[in-house]
Amino acid sequence: MAQLPSMHRPNLLDQLSPREREILPLVAQGKDNREIGSILFISEKTAKNYVTSIRKKLGLKNRTQIALFALKEGIISIEETFN
């Protein structure tokens, strides 16, 4: 049986702060830390900290897995990625 994107397990996404939920789709679209920083007007270092925090909270190994997670959860659709 299929899993609807909106019905998560005990809700990993709720563990993310509002700002982290802003970062997540940008990572998932294939953007690097420098790009994320300039989009949100924060430093690359801060962007990096958010990505690390997201990754740890979601229990993932790298930012590619963050992207795949976001797609699985329906946070972004494949059409809204890079090009």
Residues found near DNA in the complex (CB under 7 A): 17-20, 32-34, 37, 40, 42-46, 48-52, 55-56, 61-64
User: Which lies closer to DNA via its Cβ, residue 45 or residue 72?
Assistant: 45
Distance (Å, whole) CA 60 – CA 38: 25
Residue 20 site contact among its own copies, DNA, none (CB < 5 to 8 Å, cut-off depends on kind): DNA
Tokens linked to 1: 């049986």
Residue 43 contacts residue 35 (beta carbons within 8 Å): no
Distance (Å, whole) CA 25 – CA 21: 7
Helix, coil or strand: residue 74:
coil
Residue with tokens 């939920």: 21
Q: Mark 12-51 with x for binding to its own copies (rule: CB under 8 A) and - for no binding.
A: ---------------x-xx-x-------------------
Binding residues for its own copies, rule: CB under 8 A, are 27, 29-30, 32, 60-65, 67-68, 71-72, 78, 81-82
